């Protein structure tokens, strides 16, 4: 591997997380002729923060470990100080997301996956289900329901880049879907297809949508997300938001299967209300809670939900504009109305590329080696390409500084292909 030496040197010289910023080496003009082939000069500017991972996502720009000093470490989460922090995390989430007062919000184990599984295992089976998926996480929930819970379900799927027509869904069944497909970059444009007077429950995995996209609470009975996505928190815990109708189902229906303790939200047929004021089922990480509270603080400082959404929109637009300006790259999402403003997924469209997966990996590797874009390879089950996280913790200036590097890496790889031919 001809670049190995350079890659390792650069990797070793990378700064520790969230301490220092890269210096920008001076660069010369756009093209350099080297012997018989053309090399593209490296861009002059580097992103100050090259973290564009789709999870865990970049920490808020103001993040410092010292900011977590107020975490009640070594104290019981059941002590007044711990309970107060957990309650604040719930109340501030409600305020920032505009969750209605009669919806319950709980902090549950095992990140977003924990929250989705808890909802599906506790609520499904009372009526027929409809499982809707347009990428790998949604497909995972289909597997759970069809193969593990073995529930009578209609399965509706769309290929990567497309979305299921949500007007074709029967909302008198319980419907499970993912608002923003993190691995395809396809999102629900809105909740218009979901009737307010439905009989079934809607269970929505909104982990890469919450804090970046409008969620219509009257259309959602269960909403889940993890702190590690748009707010750049830690992955330890999931957030589970329940409508009054979801609570009614919990109190009136007992699944046919056994429920492990960490999934149990009722006792004696009544909701365990404590879970929804911060009395978590098992021990939470108070460090992760403190980190989430700090992220919420920062979110307020940039204008709350609207400010976060505007940041994600601006980031995504910078990438979309780049795609419009370059005919060798395109958004994986077919319909502009469904293009994600958080997990922006891209495909290479240049017909000189012989093996799409190898090419995309090589581009991502080049960018990582330069320390200008970390973790932007497409998800392992998704079509070959790149995925650039554009959630609110990412600075637009960093996206703008990274894109010329993407142009550089693309042309460098095309050149390498030509040399190899």
Q: Which residues bind ligand PLP (CB under 6 A)?
A: 55, 111-113, 137, 178, 182, 205, 207-208, 226, 228, 235
Q: Six-digit token pair at 19?
A: 């301490």
The distance of closest approach from Cβ of residue 340 to ligand PLP in the complex, given in angstroms and rounded to an integer, is 11
| Closer of 263 and 359 to ligand PLP (Cβ) | 263
Of 221, 215, 204, 161, the closest CA to residue 186 belongs to: 161
Contact 107, 89 (CB under 8 A): yes
The distance of closest approach from Cβ of residue 227 to ligand PLP in the complex, given in angstroms and rounded to an integer, is 8
Distance from C-alpha of 214 to C-alpha of 221, rounded to nearest angstrom: 15
| Closer of 20 and 282 to ligand PLP (Cβ) | 282
Distance from C-alpha of 364 to C-alpha of 406, rounded to nearest angstrom: 9
Of 331, 236, 244, the closest CA to residue 285 belongs to: 236
The distance of closest approach from Cβ of residue 314 to ligand PLP in the complex, given in angstroms and rounded to an integer, is 22
| Closer of 55 and 82 to ligand PLP (Cβ) | 55
The distance of closest approach from Cβ of residue 119 to ligand PLP in the complex, given in angstroms and rounded to an integer, is 12
**Residues whose CB falls within 8 Å of the CB of residue 122, separated by 6 or more in sequence, listed in order:** 250, 255, 259, 263, 264, 265, 266
| Closer of 223 and 405 to ligand PLP (Cβ) | 223
Tokens 């007044």 belong to which residue? 80
| Closer of 235 and 259 to ligand PLP (Cβ) | 235
Would you say the C-alpha torsion 48, 340, 308, 317 has a positive or negative sign? positive
| Closer of 56 and 72 to ligand PLP (Cβ) | 56
Distance from C-alpha of 11 to C-alpha of 129, rounded to nearest angstrom: 48
The distance of closest approach from Cβ of residue 226 to ligand PLP in the complex, given in angstroms and rounded to an integer, is 4
The distance of closest approach from Cβ of residue 19 to ligand PLP in the complex, given in angstroms and rounded to an integer, is 26
Distance from C-alpha of 365 to C-alpha of 359, rounded to nearest angstrom: 10
| Closer of 111 and 243 to ligand PLP (Cβ) | 111
The distance of closest approach from Cβ of residue 120 to ligand PLP in the complex, given in angstroms and rounded to an integer, is 12
Helix (H) or strand (E) holding 299: helix 286-301
Of 411, 396, 311, the closest CA to residue 362 belongs to: 411
């Amino acid at each position: 591997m001809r670049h190995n030496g350079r890659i390792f040197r650069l990797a070793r010289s990378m700064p520790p997380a969230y301490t220092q910023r890269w210096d920008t080496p001076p660069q010369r003009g756009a093209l350099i002729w080297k012997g018989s082939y053309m090399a593209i000069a490296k861009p002059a500017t580097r992103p100050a923060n090259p973290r564009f991972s789709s999870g865990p996502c970049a920490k808020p720009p103001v993040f410092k470990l010292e900011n977590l000093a107020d975490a009640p470490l070594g104290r019981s989460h059941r002590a007044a100080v711990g309970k107060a922090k957990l309650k604040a995390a719930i109340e501030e989430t409600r305020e920032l997301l505009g969750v209605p007062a009669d919806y319950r919000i709980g902090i549950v184990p095992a990140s977003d996956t924990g929250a989705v599984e808890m909802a599906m295992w506790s609520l499904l089976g009372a009526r027929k289900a409809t499982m809707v998926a347009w990428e790998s996480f949604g497909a995972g929930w289909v597997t759970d329901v069809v193969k593990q819970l073995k529930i009578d379900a209609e399965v509706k799927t769309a290929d990567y880049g497309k979305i299921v027509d949500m007007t074709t869904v029967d909302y008198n069944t319980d419907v499970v879907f993912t608002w923003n497909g993190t691995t395809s970059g396809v999102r629900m444009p809105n909740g218009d297809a979901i009737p307010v007077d439905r009989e079934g429950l809607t269970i929505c995995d909104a982990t890469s949508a919450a804090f970046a996209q409008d969620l219509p609470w009257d259309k959602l009975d269960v909403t889940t997300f993890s702190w590690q996505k748009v707010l750049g928190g830690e992955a330890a815990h999931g957030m589970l938001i329940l409508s009054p109708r979801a609570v009614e189902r919990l109190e009136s229906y007992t699944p046919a299967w056994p429920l492990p303790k960490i999934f149990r939200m009722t006792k004696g047929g009544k909701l365990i209300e404590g879970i929804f004021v911060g009395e978590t089922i098992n021990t939470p990480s108070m460090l992760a809670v403190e980190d989430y509270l700090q992220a919420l603080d920062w979110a307020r400082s940039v204008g709350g939900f609207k400010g976060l959404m505007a940041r994600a929109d601006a980031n995504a637009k910078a990438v979309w504009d780049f795609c419009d300006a370059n005919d060798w790259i395109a958004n994986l999402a077919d319909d502009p109305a469904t293009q994600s403003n958080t997990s922006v997924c891209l495909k290479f469209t240049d017909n000189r590329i012989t093996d799409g997966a190898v090419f995309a990996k090589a581009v991502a590797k080049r960018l990582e080696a330069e320390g200008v874009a970390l973790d932007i390879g497409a998800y392992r089950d998704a079509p070959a390409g790149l995925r650039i996280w554009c959630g609110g913790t990412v600075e637009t200036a960093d996206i703008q500084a990274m894109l010329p590097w993407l142009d550089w890496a693309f042309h460098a790889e095309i050149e390498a292909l030509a040399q190899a031919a």
